[in-house]
Amino acid sequence: MPTTLAERTAGPPVGRTWDDMDAFEAFLDAGGIVEAHDDMPEAYRLEVFRFIELHANSELMGGLTERDWIPKAPGLRLKQIFLAKTQDEIGHAHLLYMVAADMGKKSRPEMLDDLFAGRTRFHNVFHYQAVTWADQIAIAYLVDAAAFASQRAVFQNCSYGPYKRVLKRIVAEEGFHMRHGEEMLMRLAEGSEIQHRMFQEALDRWWMPAVQLFGPDSSDDDPLMRWHIKSQRNETLRHAYVQKYVPLLQGYGFTIPDEGLRHDPDAGWLISDIDWSELRATMRNGGPDSRRRIATAAGSHADTAWVREALEAAA
């Protein structure tokens, strides 16, 4: 069965219609890549589209959070870094909305309308408020790292070609964000008692949202696993994240805000059972800062309408 682009352009399945889901899944299992112009089962098109739309919305909402902190970032160097990071995140959203729109389910304006009207979702971590500068550091250190881990897992085995190609760039840039988070954290960890306490308070606010970003345990019949969009189960990614970040944070002298945290000689670090009702409420746009964030995003979009109109007029 052809799986590479060269093989595919030489013959089937280019131009082939998938009337049989088993044959389509066998194609994916053999490493087959689906392109935007290829025929694909409607269920695959819909699930992959929804996944990419959620990702695009999350990049946009994350980018706007970074933007809010540019004026408050201490010093020119950090302002430049946060400016660049904002540009990265909005760029990720831009690429993902293009890929999603090409799937033919919704146009970019329709996706943005749905986001601003609260009809679609974005990742849980962007439903909370960043209270202090240390929260921004916790976001860079914990949230960018969690996003990096989950996006890299998609990139490693992604069956949808256009998504895989933009993920290559996104994952590379998220790696920079994660490294920058580490640099900022080390400064606070080595800083004054007040700085140390500020980060501990931010960690108390952001640890659980970051851990919950991976989602509840994957179901055995998760179509995104079967169709090679996700390559690892949610609980596997979450466990690996906990193994890495618990010892790192403890090494810097911080306390993980989880009284049930324990170390098992075989399984490693184990966290308390997670109450997923908070995540579910958040994903229904009922998080602590959801309403303000959506209103801010919609306001930004309305305020910049003149740029889009000018570009369209010029074109």
Residues that bind Fe ion (CB under 5 A): 59, 89, 92, 144, 174, 177
Residue (34 or 112) nearer to Fe ion, CB: 112
Nearer to Fe ion, 53 or 59 (CB): 59
Which residues face 269 on adjacent strands?
Answer: 263
Q: How far is the CB of 76 from Fe ion (least distance, A)?
A: 21
The minimum distance between CB 170 and Fe ion, in angstroms, equals 6
Alpha-carbon separation of residue 136 from 60, 71, 131, 150, 265 (angstroms): 16, 13, 8, 20, 34
Determine if residue 31 is left, alpha or beta; phi over 0 gives left, psi from -120 to 50 gives alpha, anything else beta. Answer: left
* Residue 46 or 90 having the CB closest to Fe ion: 90
Q: Which residue has its beta carbon closest to Fe ion?
A: 177
Q: What angle do CA 45, 50, 53 make, to 5 degrees?
A: 120
Q: How far apart are CA 48 and CA 28, in angstroms?
A: 14
Q: Least separation, in Å, of the C-beta of 143 and Fe ion? A: 8
* Contact (CB, 8 A) for 47 and 223: yes
CB of 144 to Fe ion, least distance (A): 4
Q: How far is the CB of 88 from Fe ion (least distance, A)?
A: 6
Q: Terminal CA-to-CA distance of the chain, rounded, Å? A: 44
CA-based nearest residue to 155, from 227, 215, 228: 228
Cβ-based nearer residue to Fe ion, 121 or 177: 177
- By beta-carbon proximity to Fe ion, the closer residue of 53 and 174 is 174
CB of 128 to Fe ion, least distance (A): 16
Q: 273 to each of 260, 264, 276, how far by Cα in Å?
A: 8, 15, 9
Residue whose CB is less far from Fe ion, 125 or 198: 125
Report angle CA 256, 258, 261 to the nearest 5 degrees. Answer: 90
